[in-house]
Amino acid sequence: SQQGEEDPQALSIQEGENATMNCSYKTSINNLQWYRQNSGRGLVHLILIRSNEREKHSGRLRVTLDTSKKSSSLLITASRAADTASYFCATGPYNNNDMRFGAGTRLTVKP
Amino acid sequence: DAGVTQSPTHLIKTRGQQVTLRCSPKSGHDTVSWYQQALGQGPQFIFQYYEEEERQRGNFPDRFSGHQFPNYSSELNVNALLLGDSALYLCASSPVEGYGYTFGSGTRLTVV
């Protein structure tokens, strides 16, 4: 069964705009991770945020975590056409055991 | 440093047949997890192998089985294939300690 649910399901923006994707989950977590997938190929790990962290940055990525609301958001600033991909959040209760993914947000960045 | 390698890349099988997918983990990783991803969906956890044993299993029938070898590589076997088994099958490896999976590019299985 899915653990995380991303919102929106699809997002289309112009190059240079910011893209925000949200993720909600159901059970307690130790960490939450965001992954990217291009054209139905393998997933690439983007960023991990631990349950005791509220915000984390990596380049143009900013992730927030609100454990009281069981939600996370991924912000991509100054988007590029190359950011076009599907983005998934994943939660794992104990290290990497049994990591569960949401259905993903399909981001399209128009040049 | 090689990442996760999966073979074959694409595969077409007939209903009722059996299939074996293969995965070589990233160097230094000893845990292998398998996921099934239907078109337009997120990856669904099938099972995870560590020290040649199945450590965790998702909600998949016994038709799905696996194996891990002493060199940490792994196989996913699916028996009595159904049309609904058509999907991208992803292998991910991870170290015992630490976080973040490394995924292979997947095997696209089509059952006709």
pLDDT bucket at A101, cuts 50 / 70 / 90: confident
Mean pLDDT, residues B70-82 taken together: 97
Per-residue pLDDT, B61: 96
Question: What does DSSP say about strands B31-37 and A85-92: parallel, antiparallel, or unpaired?
Answer: unpaired
Choose the mutation target among B50, B88, B103, B107 for the interface with A, i.e. most A CBs under 10 Å. Answer: B103
B98 pLDDT above the threshold of 70: no
In chain B, which among 38-97 make CB contacts under 8 A with chain A? 39-45, 48, 55-56, 58-59, 88, 90, 92, 94, 97
Partners of A10 on chain B (C-beta within 8 Å) are none
* Whole-number pLDDT of residue A96: 46
Nearest to A98 by CA among B47, B32, B104: B47
DSSP B82: -
User: What pLDDT, on the 0 to 100 scale, is given for residue A83?
Assistant: 97
Q: For A34-92, write each residue's pLDDT tens digit.
A: 999 998 788 999 999 999 999 999 999 999 999 999 999 999 999 999 999 999 999 87
What residues of chain A lie within 8 A of the CB of B41, using their CB?
103-104
Which residues, 6+ apart, have CB-to-CB distance to B11 below 8 Å?
B19, B21, B107, B108, B109, B110
pLDDT score recorded for residue B93: 92
pLDDT at position B2 is 66
Residues of A with CB under 8 A from a CB of B: 1-2, 4, 31, 33, 35, 40-45, 48, 88, 92, 95-104
For residue A17, what pLDDT is reported?
Answer: 97
Mean pLDDT on B31-53: 92
pLDDT in tens, B10-39: 999 999 999 999 999 999 899 999 999 999
8 Å CB contact between B32 and B25? yes
Distance CA B19, CA A21 (A): 37
What value does the CA radius of gyration of chain B take, rounded to a whole number of Å? 13
Confidence band, pLDDT 50/70/90 cuts, at residue B72:
very high
A43 Cα to chain B: minimum distance (Å): 6
For the four alpha carbons of B4, B8, B9 and B10, in that order, the dihedral sign comes to: negative
Q: Any residues with CB less than 8 A from the CB of B14 and at least 6 apart, and which?
A: B81, B111, B112
Q: Which residue has the higher pLDDT, A99 or B4?
A: B4
- CA distance linking residue A10 with residue A99, whole number of Å: 23
